Structure 1
Amino acid sequence: MSSLSPLNRPNNTHRKPDWLTMLPSDDAKLWDDFRGGNEQAFTRIFLTHYDALFSYGLKLAADEELVKDCIQTLFQKLWRRRDGLGPVALIKPYLYKALRRTIGDETKLLRRHRLLLPAYSDEFDITYSHEDFLVAQQYSQEQSGRLLAVLNRLSRRQREAIYLKFFDGFSYEKISEIMGLNLQSVRNLVHQALKALKKALLLSLLVLYYT
């Protein structure tokens, strides 16, 4: 298998190789091709999902080098173990779940060797910022700040569920698989988070109206 470092990804300004556009877009077929040893299919999966995986990984770990290493480790394992992998209907949520587990394992290992770090938890500490939470233009900077403050006061699992639902567009079912929670728990997490956000927005609008 050739190196899949993100530094080797083609420049977006260049025309994509013919094989990238000719391969079928169907995830199940692409995955089966990869399982069969097709390196082009494998590379296409990597190139297609790298940026999204990197963004999600940064939310989980906030360490660029760690996230890059974990993505590299994940894809190396996938290639080595391709013969034993089962069929996959949707590749993106499968990779998210696998990366979440990889980062969790690596974080647990690092914390074990750094005695001052807290015990490992599978609830990642996602934090939002103005850069990745673009509030609609009709909201003032103060209103945007209020929403971001509320987002970052949500529980860790609520923040992750909101990210997966509204930033990556996953269904509740896929979020359930990625986070390892039952479906109703995921629905409850998102519902309670949205209630808090709506309350903050309403309060912000009331303050704006009466000032």
Structure 2
Amino acid sequence: MGKGFSVGRQEMYGAGGFRLNVHLLFHRPVSAQLTPEAQLADVMREHYNRLYDYGLKLTNGDEDTTKDCIQETFLAYWHHAADWATIQSVKAYLLVTLRNRIIDHQRQQHRFVPTVFWADSNEMATQPDFMFSPEDFMIQEATRTERSRLLAEALNGLTRRQREAVFLRYLQEMDYADMAQVMGVQERTVYNLVHEGLNALRQRLPPAWLLRLAGWLLSSVFIQ
């Protein structure tokens, strides 16, 4: 299943009176003064794929849960239309909302075990896991399949919060202030997580591989 948002009536006319004319998703009004509905359509166009990628990481690839939580995220954003002018970063607002929706969903599914700690850190298991897969590297050549697998393993060797910080910093291209808002920690903590994560990767990967990993982190594809 692809990650592009669906425009089926069942999804777009969902619970809570969430009504969006799907025509607006593809045809932006010419008027400089956009209606709230048109503004929401713009936000959905701009941020859906970003939310989808982040949601898949938090749900270990559960597409159905990810899509449901994304819809709830846009619904929450729509319900707070009166506050749109005060939102400093729409990207951070949506990612925070999606993260909280997924955490709530997983708690309802009893997927959290509050008394268990992660083996490689002091992190309580009260947050969704965050894992990379070989497909994240967008490597098309069959000869590079093993390399992509090993790189994914190196990234997954980081702590959960380090993985999430690296993802938000380089794939979502977020600044540290927004990352801190999304992750619910201090800005200095986010900086340290990224720094420690990159240092750990330097210890686990040969220099030549680090150059390729840097190319992926900056452009989502490997440099030649």
Aligned residue type for 2:127: E
Partner of 2:27: 17
DSSP-derived class of the 2:7 partner: helix
Gaps of 5+ in 1: 10-14, 25-29, 206-211
**Which deviates more from structure 2 when the two are superposed, residues 196-205 or residues 59-68?**
196-205
Partner of 1:79: 78
Structural mapping, 1:122-141, within 5 Å: 122-134=126-138
**In structure 2, C-alpha distance between the alignment counterparts of 1:178 and 1:53, rounded to whole Å:** 12
Q: Contact 1:123/1:157 (CA < 8 Å) preserved in 2? A: no
Partner of 2:206: 202
Q: Contact 1:158/1:190 (CA < 8 Å) preserved in 2? A: yes
Does 2:87 align with 1:92? no
Q: Which structure has more RCO (C-alpha within 8 Å, separation ≥ 6)?
A: 1
Deviation of 1:91 after TM superposition, in Å, equals 1.2
Are residues 107 and 42 of structure 1, via their aligned partners in 2, closer, same or farther at CA, if it must alter by over 3 Å? same
DSSP-derived class of the 1:166 partner: helix
**In structure 2, C-alpha distance between the alignment counterparts of 1:124 and 1:190, rounded to whole Å:** 18
Partner of 1:48: 46
Are residues 54 and 144 of structure 1, via their aligned partners in 2, closer, same or farther at CA, if it must alter by over 3 Å? closer
Aligned residue type for 2:101: T
Aligned residue type for 1:126: F
**Which deviates more from structure 2 when the two are superposed, residues 98-107 or residues 78-87?**
78-87
Does 2:155 align with 1:151? yes
**In structure 2, C-alpha distance between the alignment counterparts of 1:204 and 1:141, rounded to whole Å:** 17
Normalised by the size of structure 1, how large is the TM-score?
Answer: 0.71
**In structure 1, C-alpha distance between the alignment counterparts of 2:28 and 2:43, rounded to whole Å:** 15
Q: Contact 1:49/1:92 (CA < 8 Å) preserved in 2? A: yes
**In structure 1, C-alpha distance between the alignment counterparts of 2:55 and 2:154, rounded to whole Å:** 22
Deviation of 1:134 after TM superposition, in Å, equals 4.8
Partner of 2:67: 68
**In structure 2, C-alpha distance between the alignment counterparts of 1:176 and 1:183, rounded to whole Å:** 5
Partner of 1:118: 113
**In structure 1, C-alpha distance between the alignment counterparts of 2:202 and 2:46, rounded to whole Å:** 34
Does 2:6 align with 1:6? yes
Deviation of 1:170 after TM superposition, in Å, equals 0.7
Gaps of 5+ in 2: 13-24, 115-123, 210-224
DSSP-derived class of the 2:205 partner: helix
Deviation of 1:63 after TM superposition, in Å, equals 1.3
Deviation of 1:86 after TM superposition, in Å, equals 5.7
DSSP-derived class of the 1:126 partner: coil
Deviations for 1:50-87, whole angstroms, at most 9, x for unmatched residues? 11101110100131111111111122222223235661
